[in-house]
Every structure is written in structure tokens, then in C-alpha cells.
Structure 1
């Protein structure tokens, strides 16, 4: 699933190609992707004739701001956007097509068909699902050390689960949570409410730093992620934990291991990330 750095990279790429374009028509091949309004005709009516004025992002959500409405898009596991000429051959996994008045098209491709799209009047998007329940992401002013400490110390869940919870911190997924915990030297199965002041400070710091570095590298390509131009991210070359099982730890040279925590494959170093809460 694209996480914050991948969605930010897609946003920045698409800005180069869609700003100022006006929707002439929309083709919806797979209606289940459209969640609000649930009437496809109404969905099309809200967007046809509208011009894309700016792009935004909140956590893992991509936002297209038109004249009067905002399209909130979640890519889920395999969603991708491409801007092409209308003569470009159609991929069988293309499910929503925004036809622009200049003859180009914005095509949404999704092999698994898990992605979602919502359209709301501008100014209301943060008051309703799916954005309403999100916590701040590490690039927002509301992401503060005080906020993070308060939230993490309130839950008895393991820290891996807490950091994956989008209502606490938006934008972190499996890849970057493993990276943050490795750098913070925190075992992924530690109970969140047992973390020390030093560990909480480290998690707060590295959640921002890791995501910032990943954005600079265009995100992480593990399986199928590409940006809006079809380019892969490069941050996978700098990963310390995710996908490193059976390899030497880049800090201590011990063997990295993979276990399941909170139902997710989790990578960590047993030497650098001690399980003992009183280490």
C-alpha cells in the first residue's frame, strides 16, 4: 500500500500535469470505487466542467481540489494515476477515466479494485469520513511531541499496532513503522504505555525524519509502486529494517529477523531492539 511518501510523490508528480485542466467527461468502469456520492451520475455532475486548481495530501489520501469540490482518493493496495493522451491504449485495469477538455486523460488504474473516491464541497472534507477520524500526519503543525506522547501513553496496544493506527498518526504504514522503530531502538511488541520519555522522543523524531527522507527519494518501491510518471521510488535502497530479514543489521551486524506483530509482517534487530521493557 502506498504510504505517505509515495502519496506525496504522486501528488507532486501529478501537479505538473493536471493543474489547470478542466474535466469534460468521466468514464466509470468500476462503480464500487466511487463511495460518495454513491450515485455515479451525481459523481459525474459534480466534477464535469470543474477545473483542478491544486493538489493536496492528508496522510495516505490524495486530494484533488477543483473550483467548488474536492476529490478525496485513497489508492489502497495497488491504485495508480497516469496522465496520457486519449489515443493511448487502455489498460484492462483502468477503472475511472477523467477526460479533460485539452484531449488528455487522467486514468485511475487499480488491479485489486480496492481504491476509493469521495467528492465533497470544499471546506467540508475534514468533517466527514474518511478524513474526519485521521490523526495528524508528521508534516502537519498539529503533529507535536506533546500530542504523540499523550496518545501513545494512553494505549496498552503494542507500539507497532499503535503506530499503524491512522487515528493516532496518519501516513505511517508497515514499511515506515518498521524503520521508525528500528531507528528508535524500540521492540515492535513493546506495550505503548511502557515506553520511556527517551523512546517516545525518538519515535516522534524518526517518524518525521524517515518520511522526509523517503519523500526526497520518491518513496519506496517494494512491489508495484510507481509515481505519476511511471517511475519507481528509490528509498528501498536505504531501508534498515523492512525486508531485511536474515541480513546483518546495519548497526550491530546481528541477524535481522521477521516476526508477526499486530497481524503484520514485522522486521527488527533482536540486539538493537530489546524486548525487555526494563533494558
Structure 2
């Protein structure tokens, strides 16, 4: 880690190198002036939509690009509730939706469904393939059945919910938001997790939370094994209250109750990994 120092600092952020590591590149910040009239709290070019204004798209004979193009056209015309019928497990459906929207997908989606979204509330009645909700910023996505691997990869915000089971590497590189799984998850879930929460009501595969830097994993079942630097944490009343509220929102509840859920956090032995001696690195790994 660049700029990490072993000297004692006043704030934890100094120890993490946040004040000494130079960041370069083009800024991704977007600025808003709330004093302007008719400005919302979304993107400056985001159209206003009416949730009572409803439309449907039959996707059966359409390619992915046509589906997404028609979806954006309807949003620009103010439709706030849109139904996609017969999606046919096509890939990359509803990617890059940066607007408030109620979107219902009546069927299953393929790879990369609903990625790069910021604001919509999406419900998928079928299954999804790999990397659903990748880089999601805000909003909700609820899948009624199962999901593939890399569910919620690099998630940044919002709630990503699968009421069934998911594949391996769930929440890889998660940076925020909440991932909630009603069933089981595969191996290396929570790999390199940086922030946010993951709730698994079933069992987890091997190496759960491997190399996680921060964040919290809640596990209702059993993990085949914990990964490097993932350790048990202490459940608090705040944890239980948050779980109760959040799971109630999606009509999900663990079979054995909240009291049986376990908490997994980062051991933080990898935070200053580059500064460790070779023998110490072997002990950590």
C-alpha cells in the first residue's frame, strides 16, 4: 500500500494511508446546485417520470440493444413503471439505468443484468446469470429465484436481493450497499470485500470473506471455511435490529431466527501487509 506509515496518528484514516497516497486521474464527481429551480437530486439530465404512467415491452423478438433503447425512450417520455415481458434470458438487459423507475421483468435474464444502475427499483420474477447488479450505485434489485456467480460484483450502494441461492464469488470487491441472499452462496463469497453488508441466510462455500478489507458478513447457516483474514465478530443489538428491519422489507426471515445468525468481519492483518516481514506474511496467509 502506497504511503502507509507505522507512526502513530490521531485518526485511523492516517494509518490506512488515505492522507499520503496520491490519487490521479479524472474526477468522477458530479455537482448540483439545489438553489436552482426544477432541479432534482438525481443526475442533471435525468428526466422526470410518473410512476402512475405505465408501459410494457415485449422482448421476445427484440435484441438486447433494442430492448434497452426502447426502455430509455419510455423513460425519456416520462413512464415511471415499465414491464419487460418475455426477456428470454437475454444478456445485459436494463444496464446503465440512471433514473428513478419501477421496472418489472417477467422472466429470466442472462449475464450482466441490471448492472451500472443508479436509482431504479427492479424486480425480476425469474433467474439471472453471472454478475447481476454489477457496480450498482443505488436503488433496489430483487430476484425471485436463483442467481449465477459474481452476484453484486463491485456493488457500491443500494439493496441487491436474491430470494434463492447464488453462485461463487458473490459480492467480489464489494464497496458498499447490501447483498441479501435467501439461500446458499458459493465459494469465495465476499472476496476482497471493502465495505457494505452481506447477509446469507443459508450456507456458504469455502473461503468465505477471503482477503476482506472491511465490511460485515452475516451468516445464517454454516460456512465450509473462512478465508484469509476473515474472523468471527460479536453480534450486537444494533446488528440484530438492522437485520430485523432489513429482512422484513423483503419478506425474508431465517428459519432459526435472527439469534442464530453469525457475524464475520475482517481481522485487519492485511491492512499493512506490504510492511510485514517475510516471515510475518507467511503467518498471515
TM bucket normalised to smaller: under 0.3
TM-score by length of 2: 0.26
Structure having greater relative contact order (Cα 8 Å, sep ≥ 6): 1
